[in-house]
Amino acid sequence: MTRILCPSEMTNIDDVDWDDTRCANCGCDLPEEEPDDPAAGDLWDAGFCSEPCRKCQMNRNGLVLWEGPSAINGDPIVVVAQGITRKSKNDKIGERTIQVWYLPRDVAPYVAVKTGADEAVCGDCIHRPSKGDTCYVVTYQAARAVWQAYQDGSYPRWDGSTLPFADRVVRFGAWGDPASVPEGTLAAIRDVARRHLGYTHQWKHERFSHLRSWCMASVDSMPEYLRARSAGWRPFRVREEGEELHEHERMCPAADESPVSDAMDCGKCGGCDGLARGAKRPSYAIVVHGRSASRFNAHQQETA
């Protein structure tokens, strides 16, 4: 059997043995007889689907990690990892960082933020449009694209293999909160990752205290910072421009205001991993940024 590459984006199979009755790429059953079409026959003879099937054409840059009821309110959600095969265009997180999205399963993100369905993945975060409307994520852009790819069936389901995540940096929360999935759901990924990043606005709720071991407490004021520290969390604080750092805080190295921002990104730093490497390390703070910075500053002044 001649070995050639499948015309769609597939893995290298040069050193892999396969069952002659199945597609060497996707595992689908091959026809018992060679197709009449010459081109299809060549693919069949090489051990591939004669007409690349849905599995052959899937988007290998993403994986559906989990589907089920939100641990926050029970609504159906889906968790997708993106950045498996392609580099990120976000130079702040690092080009080889894998991002995890927590999405309402049946409602597009840009619709969910208008109807309140984003509660399933965002909980009581003050940055939700129904609250402060200060979230920096533009949900009709990347979040919408990831959700639509899931709806179209473009992403394969995760089979539990940790190989795609081994020695990679994984950011748990491109949009949405890690609290939305049951405890331990993605632990195997964290175990093999070189570094991981995680943030939760649900730190005030005791039922999500298990996140303390690997997530930062997302806080939005100094009183919240002090409360989170007293509860045993390492906080990550959003602060106003000109606001001083606490003695136990450090400037986020990848933030625009950092003097080393040009040479630093989240993947290189890896400091936002909760208590994973001890509780005595400093916390981080970042000056509010993004399209909603002015609304955040106004909100802070109103609640001061």
Q: Are residues 17 and 137 in the same domain?
A: no
What's the structural domain count of the chain?
2
Average pLDDT, the chain: 85
Average pLDDT over residues 184-201: 96
pLDDT in tens, 75-121: 999 999 999 988 887 878 888 899 999 999 999 999 999 999 999 99
Average pLDDT over residues 222-241: 95
Average pLDDT over residues 215-228: 96
* pLDDT given at position 22: 75
Banded pLDDT at 298 (limits 50, 70, 90): low
Residues 187, 193: contact at Cβ < 8 Å? no
Q: Are residues 186 and 238 in the same domain?
A: yes
pLDDT top residue among 9 and 1: 9
Average pLDDT over residues 136-146: 91
Q: Are residues 164 and 18 in the same domain?
A: no
Residue 271 makes CB contacts below 8 A (sequence gap 6+) with 253, 281, 284
| End-of-domain residue from the set 11, 33, 57 | 57
Q: Are residues 4 and 114 in the same domain?
A: no
Beta strands in the chain (DSSP E): 62-69, 76-82, 97-104, 169-175, 195-200, 216-219, 235-239, 249-251, 283-287
| End-of-domain residue from the set 9, 41, 57 | 57
- 3-state DSSP assignment of residue 184: coil
pLDDT in tens, 153-179: 889 899 999 999 999 999 999 999 999
* pLDDT given at position 91: 79
Least confident among 31-45, 116-130, 179-193: 31-45
- Cα 157–Cα 158–Cα 164 angle in degrees, nearest 5: 130
pLDDT at 272 over 70: yes
pLDDT at 293 over 90: no
pLDDT at 303 over 70: no
Average pLDDT over residues 218-242: 95
* pLDDT given at position 1: 27
Q: Are residues 71 and 162 in the same domain?
A: yes
Q: Are residues 51 and 144 in the same domain?
A: no
Q: Are residues 74 and 39 in the same domain?
A: no
Banded pLDDT at 292 (limits 50, 70, 90): low
* pLDDT given at position 300: 59
Average pLDDT over residues 247-275: 93
Q: Are residues 111 and 151 in the same domain?
A: yes
pLDDT at 188 over 90: yes
Average pLDDT over residues 127-144: 89
**Residue 103: which of 119, 83, 124, 115 has the closest Cα?**
119
Q: Are residues 116 and 24 in the same domain?
A: no
Residues 43, 49: contact at Cβ < 8 Å? yes
Report the range out of 51-65, 198-212, 258-272 with the highest average pLDDT.
198-212
Average pLDDT over residues 248-275: 93
At residue 212, φ and ψ (nearest 5 deg) are: -55, -30
* pLDDT given at position 172: 97
Cα 21 to Cα 157: distance, rounded to the nearest angstrom: 23
Residues 215, 178: contact at Cβ < 8 Å? yes
* pLDDT given at position 53: 60
Q: Are residues 136 and 228 in the same domain?
A: yes
DSSP 82-135: E-SSS--S-TTT-TTEEEEEEEESSS-HHHHHHHTTTHHHHTT-TTSTTTT---
Q: Are residues 251 and 272 in the same domain?
A: yes
Portion of the chain with pLDDT greater than 70, in percent: 82
> Which range of residues forms the domain containing residue 12?
1-57
pLDDT at 5 over 80: no
- 3-state DSSP assignment of residue 200: strand
Average pLDDT over residues 273-300: 80
Q: Are residues 78 and 51 in the same domain?
A: no
